Homo-oligomer: A and B are copies of this chain.
Amino acid sequence: MTRSLVFDGLQISNWNRETIEEIKRGQVNGIHATLAVWETPIEAIRNIADWNVLRNENPDLVSIACSADDIRSAADQDKVSVVLGFQNTSPFAQDYTLVEIFHQLGIRVAQLTYNIQNYVGGSCYDPQDSGLTRFGQRIVEEMNRVGMLIDLSHVGNKTSLEAIDASSRPVSITHANPLWFADTPRNKPDEVIDALVSRGGVIGACLYPNVIGGNSTSQDEFSAMVIKLVDKHGPEHVAIGSDMTRNWDQGYVNYLRDGRWKPAANASWPEWPSWFNSPEDFPKLADGLLKAGLSDSDLALVMGENWLNLFETSFSPLSELEGMATNNG
Protein backbone atom coordinates (compact mmCIF):
# COMPACT_ATOMS: atom_id res chain seq x y z
CA MET A 1 0.00 0.00 0.00
CA THR A 2 1.55 3.30 -1.11
CA ARG A 3 1.02 6.40 1.00
CA SER A 4 -1.21 9.06 -0.50
CA LEU A 5 0.55 12.08 -1.96
CA VAL A 6 -0.32 15.77 -2.06
CA PHE A 7 -0.29 17.34 -5.52
CA ASP A 8 -1.14 20.89 -6.55
CA GLY A 9 -2.84 21.10 -9.96
CA LEU A 10 -1.34 24.48 -10.83
CA GLN A 11 1.30 26.93 -9.69
CA ILE A 12 2.91 29.71 -11.68
CA SER A 13 5.88 31.23 -9.92
CA ASN A 14 9.27 32.72 -10.58
CA TRP A 15 10.94 29.47 -9.69
CA ASN A 16 14.13 29.09 -7.71
CA ARG A 17 15.33 26.90 -4.86
CA GLU A 18 13.46 29.00 -2.30
CA THR A 19 10.06 28.76 -4.01
CA ILE A 20 10.47 24.97 -4.26
CA GLU A 21 11.49 24.77 -0.61
CA GLU A 22 8.25 26.56 0.34
CA ILE A 23 6.35 23.82 -1.49
CA LYS A 24 8.28 21.15 0.40
CA ARG A 25 7.61 22.87 3.72
CA GLY A 26 3.92 22.79 2.74
CA GLN A 27 4.22 18.97 2.52
CA VAL A 28 3.25 19.13 -1.12
CA ASN A 29 4.87 16.28 -3.08
CA GLY A 30 4.38 17.73 -6.51
CA ILE A 31 2.98 20.54 -8.57
CA HIS A 32 1.94 21.19 -12.14
CA ALA A 33 4.04 24.23 -13.09
CA THR A 34 3.22 26.68 -15.86
CA LEU A 35 6.07 27.32 -18.29
CA ALA A 36 4.23 29.36 -20.90
CA VAL A 37 1.29 31.72 -21.12
CA TRP A 38 2.06 33.76 -24.26
CA GLU A 39 5.37 32.17 -25.26
CA THR A 40 6.39 31.31 -28.82
CA PRO A 41 8.00 27.91 -29.52
CA ILE A 42 11.57 29.02 -28.89
CA GLU A 43 10.65 31.04 -25.81
CA ALA A 44 8.87 28.01 -24.36
CA ILE A 45 11.89 25.83 -25.09
CA ARG A 46 14.14 28.23 -23.21
CA ASN A 47 11.76 28.07 -20.24
CA ILE A 48 12.09 24.27 -20.30
CA ALA A 49 15.88 24.65 -20.44
CA ASP A 50 15.67 26.90 -17.35
CA TRP A 51 13.84 24.09 -15.53
CA ASN A 52 16.55 21.64 -16.61
CA VAL A 53 19.16 23.96 -15.10
CA LEU A 54 17.16 24.38 -11.87
CA ARG A 55 16.83 20.58 -11.60
CA ASN A 56 20.50 19.99 -12.48
CA GLU A 57 21.61 22.49 -9.83
CA ASN A 58 19.23 21.14 -7.17
CA PRO A 59 19.20 17.37 -7.67
CA ASP A 60 18.45 16.82 -3.97
CA LEU A 61 15.23 18.85 -4.15
CA VAL A 62 13.78 19.00 -7.67
CA SER A 63 12.55 16.25 -9.96
CA ILE A 64 10.93 16.80 -13.36
CA ALA A 65 8.17 14.20 -13.54
CA CYS A 66 7.02 12.62 -16.80
CA SER A 67 4.71 10.04 -15.20
CA ALA A 68 2.76 9.30 -12.04
CA ASP A 69 5.46 6.74 -11.18
CA ASP A 70 8.10 9.49 -11.40
CA ILE A 71 6.11 11.49 -8.83
CA ARG A 72 5.86 8.53 -6.46
CA SER A 73 9.56 7.68 -6.64
CA ALA A 74 10.60 11.32 -6.22
CA ALA A 75 8.38 11.49 -3.11
CA ASP A 76 10.19 8.44 -1.73
CA GLN A 77 13.40 10.44 -2.10
CA ASP A 78 11.87 13.50 -0.47
CA LYS A 79 12.01 15.54 -3.67
CA VAL A 80 9.38 17.89 -5.04
CA SER A 81 8.05 16.72 -8.41
CA VAL A 82 7.27 19.18 -11.13
CA VAL A 83 4.96 18.29 -14.00
CA LEU A 84 5.74 20.75 -16.79
CA GLY A 85 2.80 22.40 -18.51
CA PHE A 86 1.64 25.27 -20.68
CA GLN A 87 -1.33 27.56 -20.10
CA ASN A 88 -1.56 28.19 -23.81
CA THR A 89 -1.02 26.34 -27.08
CA SER A 90 1.03 29.30 -28.36
CA PRO A 91 4.22 27.15 -28.10
CA PHE A 92 2.73 24.90 -30.81
CA ALA A 93 2.37 27.89 -33.15
CA GLN A 94 0.49 26.54 -36.18
CA ASP A 95 2.48 23.30 -36.23
CA TYR A 96 0.85 20.14 -34.84
CA THR A 97 4.20 18.31 -34.95
CA LEU A 98 5.45 20.54 -32.12
CA VAL A 99 3.08 18.71 -29.74
CA GLU A 100 5.27 15.60 -29.95
CA ILE A 101 8.43 17.72 -29.72
CA PHE A 102 7.21 19.31 -26.48
CA HIS A 103 6.15 15.93 -25.15
CA GLN A 104 9.73 14.76 -25.78
CA LEU A 105 10.88 17.78 -23.77
CA GLY A 106 8.72 16.77 -20.82
CA ILE A 107 5.59 18.89 -21.30
CA ARG A 108 2.67 16.84 -20.02
CA VAL A 109 -0.23 19.34 -19.81
CA ALA A 110 -1.42 22.11 -22.12
CA GLN A 111 -4.35 24.46 -21.75
CA LEU A 112 -5.95 24.97 -25.13
CA THR A 113 -6.24 28.76 -24.84
CA TYR A 114 -5.07 31.36 -22.39
CA ASN A 115 -6.97 34.65 -22.10
CA ILE A 116 -7.59 35.42 -25.77
CA GLN A 117 -8.74 33.41 -28.78
CA ASN A 118 -5.96 31.51 -30.53
CA TYR A 119 -5.52 29.08 -33.43
CA VAL A 120 -7.20 26.33 -31.40
CA GLY A 121 -10.35 27.98 -30.08
CA GLY A 122 -12.00 30.61 -27.90
CA SER A 123 -10.98 31.78 -24.45
CA CYS A 124 -13.31 32.22 -21.47
CA TYR A 125 -12.96 36.01 -21.84
CA ASP A 126 -13.94 36.17 -25.52
CA PRO A 127 -17.43 37.61 -26.06
CA GLN A 128 -17.82 35.21 -29.01
CA ASP A 129 -16.47 31.68 -28.62
CA SER A 130 -15.52 30.18 -32.00
CA GLY A 131 -15.62 26.66 -30.62
CA LEU A 132 -12.81 24.20 -31.36
CA THR A 133 -11.24 25.04 -34.74
CA ARG A 134 -10.07 22.51 -37.33
CA PHE A 135 -6.51 23.04 -36.08
CA GLY A 136 -7.88 22.66 -32.54
CA GLN A 137 -9.31 19.26 -33.42
CA ARG A 138 -5.92 18.22 -34.78
CA ILE A 139 -4.20 19.46 -31.62
CA VAL A 140 -6.65 17.52 -29.42
CA GLU A 141 -6.03 14.40 -31.51
CA GLU A 142 -2.26 14.85 -31.36
CA MET A 143 -2.26 15.53 -27.60
CA ASN A 144 -4.37 12.38 -27.19
CA ARG A 145 -1.90 10.43 -29.33
CA VAL A 146 1.35 11.46 -27.64
CA GLY A 147 0.00 11.63 -24.08
CA MET A 148 -0.45 15.28 -23.17
CA LEU A 149 -3.29 16.17 -20.82
CA ILE A 150 -5.77 18.78 -22.09
CA ASP A 151 -6.49 21.61 -19.67
CA LEU A 152 -9.64 23.75 -20.07
CA SER A 153 -9.25 26.16 -17.14
CA HIS A 154 -9.18 29.41 -19.15
CA VAL A 155 -10.96 28.00 -22.21
CA GLY A 156 -14.35 29.24 -23.39
CA ASN A 157 -17.38 27.06 -22.64
CA LYS A 158 -18.26 26.21 -26.23
CA THR A 159 -14.64 25.33 -27.06
CA SER A 160 -14.46 23.33 -23.80
CA LEU A 161 -17.55 21.27 -24.60
CA GLU A 162 -16.32 20.57 -28.12
CA ALA A 163 -12.85 19.63 -26.84
CA ILE A 164 -14.31 17.25 -24.26
CA ASP A 165 -16.33 15.68 -27.04
CA ALA A 166 -13.37 15.50 -29.44
CA SER A 167 -10.97 14.04 -26.89
CA SER A 168 -10.64 10.28 -26.70
CA ARG A 169 -9.06 10.63 -23.26
CA PRO A 170 -10.22 12.33 -20.04
CA VAL A 171 -9.41 16.03 -19.81
CA SER A 172 -8.77 18.41 -16.92
CA ILE A 173 -9.69 21.76 -15.52
CA THR A 174 -6.54 22.21 -13.46
CA HIS A 175 -7.55 25.48 -11.77
CA ALA A 176 -11.10 26.87 -11.80
CA ASN A 177 -14.26 26.76 -9.70
CA PRO A 178 -17.93 26.19 -10.43
CA LEU A 179 -19.79 29.26 -11.62
CA TRP A 180 -22.32 28.82 -8.79
CA PHE A 181 -19.50 29.51 -6.30
CA ALA A 182 -18.24 32.78 -7.83
CA ASP A 183 -19.60 34.44 -10.93
CA THR A 184 -16.65 35.16 -13.24
CA PRO A 185 -15.95 34.03 -16.82
CA ARG A 186 -13.05 31.96 -15.40
CA ASN A 187 -15.44 29.69 -13.49
CA LYS A 188 -17.37 26.83 -15.08
CA PRO A 189 -21.11 26.22 -15.57
CA ASP A 190 -22.45 22.82 -14.47
CA GLU A 191 -22.80 21.80 -18.11
CA VAL A 192 -19.02 21.92 -18.62
CA ILE A 193 -18.17 20.22 -15.32
CA ASP A 194 -20.80 17.52 -15.96
CA ALA A 195 -19.41 16.82 -19.43
CA LEU A 196 -15.83 16.71 -18.13
CA VAL A 197 -16.75 14.35 -15.30
CA SER A 198 -18.81 12.08 -17.53
CA ARG A 199 -15.61 11.41 -19.52
CA GLY A 200 -13.50 10.72 -16.44
CA GLY A 201 -11.94 14.17 -16.04
CA VAL A 202 -10.83 16.04 -12.92
CA ILE A 203 -11.44 19.65 -11.82
CA GLY A 204 -8.99 21.39 -9.50
CA ALA A 205 -10.73 23.80 -7.12
CA CYS A 206 -8.80 27.02 -7.30
CA LEU A 207 -7.72 29.50 -4.64
CA TYR A 208 -6.76 32.44 -6.84
CA PRO A 209 -8.56 35.44 -5.28
CA ASN A 210 -10.36 36.38 -8.53
CA VAL A 211 -12.10 32.98 -8.80
CA ILE A 212 -13.18 32.59 -5.15
CA GLY A 213 -15.05 35.91 -5.04
CA GLY A 214 -12.17 37.87 -3.54
CA ASN A 215 -10.01 37.53 -0.48
CA SER A 216 -12.88 38.10 1.95
CA THR A 217 -14.19 34.62 1.15
CA SER A 218 -13.69 32.45 4.20
CA GLN A 219 -12.00 29.09 4.40
CA ASP A 220 -15.32 27.57 5.52
CA GLU A 221 -17.01 28.82 2.35
CA PHE A 222 -14.20 27.38 0.21
CA SER A 223 -14.30 24.03 2.03
CA ALA A 224 -18.08 23.84 1.65
CA MET A 225 -17.70 24.47 -2.10
CA VAL A 226 -15.20 21.61 -2.44
CA ILE A 227 -17.46 19.27 -0.50
CA LYS A 228 -20.47 20.26 -2.61
CA LEU A 229 -18.41 19.54 -5.74
CA VAL A 230 -17.52 16.12 -4.32
CA ASP A 231 -21.17 15.42 -3.50
CA LYS A 232 -22.41 16.55 -6.94
CA HIS A 233 -19.73 14.94 -9.11
CA GLY A 234 -18.09 12.20 -7.05
CA PRO A 235 -14.88 12.22 -4.99
CA GLU A 236 -12.77 10.86 -7.90
CA HIS A 237 -13.28 14.02 -9.95
CA VAL A 238 -12.36 16.84 -7.56
CA ALA A 239 -8.87 18.05 -6.68
CA ILE A 240 -6.97 21.25 -5.88
CA GLY A 241 -5.22 23.63 -8.28
CA SER A 242 -4.11 26.58 -6.18
CA ASP A 243 -2.92 28.88 -9.01
CA MET A 244 -0.32 30.07 -6.52
CA THR A 245 2.04 32.79 -7.82
CA ARG A 246 5.31 33.41 -5.96
CA ASN A 247 8.37 35.59 -6.23
CA TRP A 248 7.20 37.81 -9.09
CA ASP A 249 7.68 41.52 -9.43
CA GLN A 250 4.87 43.86 -10.44
CA GLY A 251 5.72 43.63 -14.14
CA TYR A 252 4.77 39.98 -14.41
CA VAL A 253 1.11 40.52 -13.59
CA ASN A 254 0.98 42.92 -16.55
CA TYR A 255 2.58 40.23 -18.71
CA LEU A 256 0.01 37.66 -17.55
CA ARG A 257 -2.93 39.93 -18.25
CA ASP A 258 -1.81 41.68 -21.40
CA GLY A 259 1.21 39.83 -22.82
CA ARG A 260 2.01 41.85 -25.88
CA TRP A 261 -1.47 41.64 -27.40
CA LYS A 262 -2.29 45.11 -26.06
CA PRO A 263 -0.51 47.88 -24.18
CA ALA A 264 -0.03 46.83 -20.58
CA ALA A 265 -2.62 48.24 -18.19
CA ASN A 266 -1.46 49.05 -14.71
CA ALA A 267 -2.55 45.77 -13.16
CA SER A 268 -1.57 44.68 -9.67
CA TRP A 269 -1.44 41.29 -7.99
CA PRO A 270 -4.64 40.40 -6.13
CA GLU A 271 -4.43 39.92 -2.39
CA TRP A 272 -4.74 36.31 -1.26
CA PRO A 273 -7.00 35.28 1.63
CA SER A 274 -5.30 35.20 5.02
CA TRP A 275 -6.01 31.47 5.40
CA PHE A 276 -4.21 30.55 2.15
CA ASN A 277 -1.44 32.72 0.83
CA SER A 278 1.56 30.41 0.47
CA PRO A 279 2.23 26.80 -0.51
CA GLU A 280 3.02 26.33 3.17
CA ASP A 281 -0.74 26.62 3.85
CA PHE A 282 -1.57 23.27 2.24
CA PRO A 283 -1.79 21.40 5.57
CA LYS A 284 -4.20 24.10 6.81
CA LEU A 285 -6.27 23.64 3.65
CA ALA A 286 -6.51 19.88 4.26
CA ASP A 287 -7.45 20.42 7.92
CA GLY A 288 -10.27 22.74 6.84
CA LEU A 289 -11.68 20.13 4.46
CA LEU A 290 -11.55 17.45 7.16
CA LYS A 291 -13.22 19.74 9.68
CA ALA A 292 -15.92 20.56 7.12
CA GLY A 293 -16.75 16.88 6.88
CA LEU A 294 -14.69 15.37 4.07
CA SER A 295 -13.78 11.75 4.86
CA ASP A 296 -10.12 10.70 5.21
CA SER A 297 -10.26 8.66 2.02
CA ASP A 298 -11.94 11.43 0.01
CA LEU A 299 -9.42 13.93 1.40
CA ALA A 300 -6.56 11.78 0.05
CA LEU A 301 -8.20 11.77 -3.39
CA VAL A 302 -8.87 15.51 -3.41
CA MET A 303 -5.45 16.54 -2.05
CA GLY A 304 -3.49 14.66 -4.68
CA GLU A 305 -4.42 11.10 -5.55
CA ASN A 306 -7.01 12.14 -8.16
CA TRP A 307 -4.32 14.02 -10.06
CA LEU A 308 -1.96 11.06 -9.87
CA ASN A 309 -4.67 8.66 -11.04
CA LEU A 310 -5.48 10.93 -13.98
CA PHE A 311 -1.78 11.31 -14.85
CA GLU A 312 -1.37 7.51 -14.73
CA THR A 313 -3.38 7.16 -17.94
CA SER A 314 -2.78 10.61 -19.45
CA PHE A 315 0.96 10.82 -20.00
CA SER A 316 1.78 7.73 -22.04
CA PRO A 317 1.31 7.50 -25.81
CA LEU A 318 -2.08 6.22 -26.95
CA SER A 319 -0.37 3.20 -28.56
CA GLU A 320 1.07 2.12 -25.19
CA LEU A 321 -2.28 2.71 -23.49
CA GLU A 322 -4.01 0.52 -26.07
CA GLY A 323 -1.29 -2.05 -25.43
CA MET A 324 -2.16 -1.94 -21.72
CA ALA A 325 -5.87 -2.29 -22.44
CA THR A 326 -5.19 -5.27 -24.71
CA ASN A 327 -2.95 -6.89 -22.12
CA ASN A 328 -5.57 -6.44 -19.43
CA GLY A 329 -8.57 -7.39 -21.51
Chain A contact residues, CB within 8 Å of chain B: 41-42, 45-46, 48-50, 52-53, 56, 95, 97-98, 100-101, 104-106
A100: chain B residues within 8 A (beta carbon)? 49, 52, 56
A322 to chain B, nearest CB (A): 14
Closest residue on chain B to residue A97 by CB atoms:
B49
Enumerate chain B residues within 8 angstroms of A97, measured Cβ to Cβ.
46, 49-50, 52-53
Other-chain contact of A105, B46, B52, B95, B105 (Cβ < 8 Å): B105
A98 to B104, CA, bound (A): 14
Using CB atoms, name the residue of chain B closest to A41: B42
Whole-angstrom distance between the Cβ of A65 and the nearest chain B Cβ: 14
For residue A90, give the distance in angstroms from its CB to the closest CB of chain B: 14
Shortest distance between the CB of A315 and any CB in chain B (Å): 15
Contacts known (A101-B105, A104-B104, A105-B104); A41 close to B45, Cβ less than 8 A: yes
Can you name the residue of chain B whose Cβ is closest to the Cβ of A53? B97
Extra contacts, 18 of them, besides A46-B95, A49-B95, A104-B106 (Cβ < 8 A), are A41-B42, A41-B45, A42-B42, A45-B101, A46-B97, A48-B101, A49-B97, A49-B98, A49-B100, A49-B101, A50-B97, A52-B97, A52-B100, A52-B101, A53-B97, A56-B100, A104-B104, A104-B105
Q: Which residues of B contact A46 (CB under 8 A)?
A: 95, 97
Please give me the residue from chain B that is nearest to A105 by CB atom.
B104
A42 to B40 CA separation, bound complex (whole angstroms): 10
